[in-house]
Amino acid sequence: MKENKQARQWLEYPELRERFRILHHVSGLEIWLDYKEIRPTACYLLARFGSWHRRLKIGNKMVELPAGTAHFLEHKMFEDENGEDSLVLFSELGVDANAYTSAQRTCYQFFSTDHFEESLEILFRQVTQPHFTEESLSKERKIIAEEIRSYADMHDYLSYMQLVGHVLDHHPERDDCCGSEESIERITPDILYWCHKKFYHPNNLILSVCGRREDLDEDRILALADRYFGTEPDRTRTPVRMDLPESTNLPKRSDTIRTQMDVSRTFLTFGWKLPRPKPASYWVSSTETCAMELLMAYLFSPSAELFSRLYEKQLLQTEPEYQFIRGKDFLLVCLQADCDPDRLRPLCLAIERGMKRVLAQGISEQALKPFKRTAVAEYIKDYDSTDCVAENMALYASHSRGLQLYVRQIQRISAAMVQKLLDELLQTPHTLSLIEPKGAF
Q: What digits encode the pLDDT tens for the residues 164-209?
A: 999 988 899 999 999 999 999 999 999 999 999 999 999 999 999 9
- The answer to whether position 204 is within a domain reads yes
- 418 lies in the same domain as 346: yes
Residue 3, pLDDT above cutoff 60? no
- 189 lies in the same domain as 82: yes
Q: What digits encode the pLDDT tens for the residues 88-131?
A: 999 999 999 999 999 999 999 999 999 999 999 999 999 999 99
Residue 400, pLDDT above cutoff 70? no
Q: What digits encode the pLDDT tens for the residues 223-234?
A: 999 999 999 887
Residue 244, pLDDT above cutoff 70? yes
- 278 lies in the same domain as 199: no
- 234 lies in the same domain as 268: no
Query: 39: how many CB neighbours lie within 10 A of its CB?
Result: 14
Q: Of 214, 242, 270, which residue constitutes the final position of a domain?
A: 242
Q: Residue 207: beta bridge partners?
A: 31, 45
- 230 lies in the same domain as 261: no
C-alpha span between 203 and 230 (Å, rounded): 12
Residue 81, pLDDT above cutoff 90? no
- The answer to whether position 163 is within a domain reads no
| CATH code for the domain in which residue 330 is found | 3.30.830.10
What is the distance in angstroms between the CA of the first residue and the CA of the last residue of the chain? 72
- The answer to whether position 203 is within a domain reads yes
Mean pLDDT of 15-20: 81
What pLDDT is attached to residue 51? 97
Residue at 106: amino acid letter: T
Q: What is the pTM of this model?
A: 0.92
Query: 215: how many CB neighbours lie within 10 A of its CB?
Result: 17
CB burial of 330-364 (b: ≥16 within 10 Å; e: otherwise) equals: bbbbbbbbbbeeebbeebbebbeebbeebeeeebe
Range of the domain at 74: 8-151+177-242
- 190 lies in the same domain as 309: no
Angle, to 10 degrees, between the axis of helix 415-427 and the axis of helix 365-382?
A: 100
Residues 6+ apart with CB under 8 A from 257: 162, 163, 166, 431, 432, 433, 434
Q: Of 201, 217, 242, which residue constitutes the final position of a domain?
A: 242
Mean pLDDT, the chain, rounded, equals 91
User: How far is CA 177 from each of CA 49, 103, 146, 304, 326, rounded to the nearest angstrom?
Assistant: 12, 7, 14, 33, 16
C-beta of residue 433 within 8 angstroms of C-beta of residue 269: yes
The tally of domains found in the chain comes to 2
C-alpha span between 242 and 63 (Å, rounded): 10
Q: How confident is the model at residue 35 (pLDDT cuts 50, 70, 90)?
A: very high
275 preceded by a cis bond (ω within 30 of 0): no
C-alpha span between 7 and 23 (Å, rounded): 6
C-beta of residue 115 within 8 angstroms of C-beta of residue 95: yes
- The answer to whether position 123 is within a domain reads yes
- 382 lies in the same domain as 300: yes
DSSP 372-399: HHHHHHHHHHHTT-HHHHHHHHHHHHTT
C-alpha span between 161 and 152 (Å, rounded): 11
Of 32, 35, 39, give the one whose Cα is nearest residue 17. 35
C-alpha span between 370 and 320 (Å, rounded): 19
